[in-house]
With several copies, the nearest count.
Chain A
Amino acid sequence: MTGGEGEPDDLLRALEAALFASTEPLTVAQLRQLLGEAPDIPAGLRALSGHYAGRGVNLVERGGRWHFQTAADMAHLLRRDREEPRKLSRAGMETLAIIAYHEPVSRAEIEAIRGVQVAKGTLDVLMEAGWIRPAGRKEVPGRPLLYATTAEFLTHFGLSSRRDLPGLEDLRAAGLLDPVDLAMEGMLERTVTESSLENDEGDD
Chain B
Amino acid sequence: MSAADDMADLFESRRAPDEVLTVSFESWEGPLDLLLNLARSQKVDLREISILALVEQYLEFIAGARAMKLELAADYLVMAAWLAYLKSAMLLPKAEQEEPSPEELALRLHLRLQRLAAMRDAGARLMARDRLGRDVFPRGAPEGLRVDKVSIWQASLYDLIAAYGQVKARTRPVTHVVARRPVMTLDEAIARVGRLIGTRLDWTRLESFLPEGVSGPLGRSALASSFVAVLELAKQGRVDIRQEGIFEPIFLRNAAPSGHEIAS
Interface positions of A (Cβ within 8 A of B) = 17-18, 20-24, 34, 67-72, 74-75, 77-88, 90-94, 96-98, 100-101, 113-117, 125, 128-129, 131, 155-159, 165-168, 171, 174, 176-180, 182-184, 187-190, 192-193, 195-198, 200-201, 203-204
Contact = CB atoms under 8 A, between A and B. Distances in A.
Contact of A190 (B111, B149, B174, B216): B216
A22 B138 CA distance: 9
B43 interface: no
A85 B137 CA distance: 11
A52 to B, nearest CB: 13
B67 to A, nearest CB: 22
Contacts of A84: 131, 134, 149-152
Contacts of B53: 200, 203-204
B8 interface: no
B150 A184 contact: no
B166 A94 contact: yes
Nearest to A62: B132
A81 B237 CA distance: 86
B118 A115 contact: no
Contacts, number: 298
B263 interface: no
A79 B148 contact: yes
Interface in B111-151: 111-112, 114-116, 118-127, 129-151
B87 to A, nearest CB: 11
Contact of B133 (A156, A166, A184): A156
Nearest to A180: B111
Given A85-B154, A159-B157, A80 B145 contact: yes
B115 A22 contact: no
Q: For this complex, into which size category does the number of interface residues on chain B fall?
A: 35 or more
B6 interface: no
A170 to B, nearest CB: 8
7 contacts: A21-B137, A21-B143, A80-B148, A93-B155, A97-B167, A171-B118, A171-B122
Contacts of A72: 130, 135-136
B142 A21 contact: yes
Interface in B44-62: 47-48, 50-53, 56
A113 B115 contact: yes
B207 to A, nearest CB: 10
B107 interface: yes
B164 A184 contact: no
B161 to A, nearest CB: 6
B196 interface: no
A69 B137 contact: yes
Given A23-B144, A171-B161, A75 B219 contact: no
B247 interface: no
A34 B147 CA distance: 9
B40 to A, nearest CB: 14
A93 B121 CA distance: 10
Nearest to A172: B165
Contact of B162 (A129, A176, A179): A176
Interface in B194-242: 215-217, 219
A98 B154 contact: no
Interface stretch (B25-33, B183-191, B248-256): B25-33
A156 B136 CA distance: 9
Given A177-B118, A179-B166, 18 more contacts: A18-B145, A69-B137, A78-B145, A82-B150, A85-B134, A86-B151, A88-B153, A93-B124, A93-B160, A93-B163, A94-B166, A97-B161, A116-B29, A165-B161, A166-B126, A171-B161, A197-B103, A197-B215
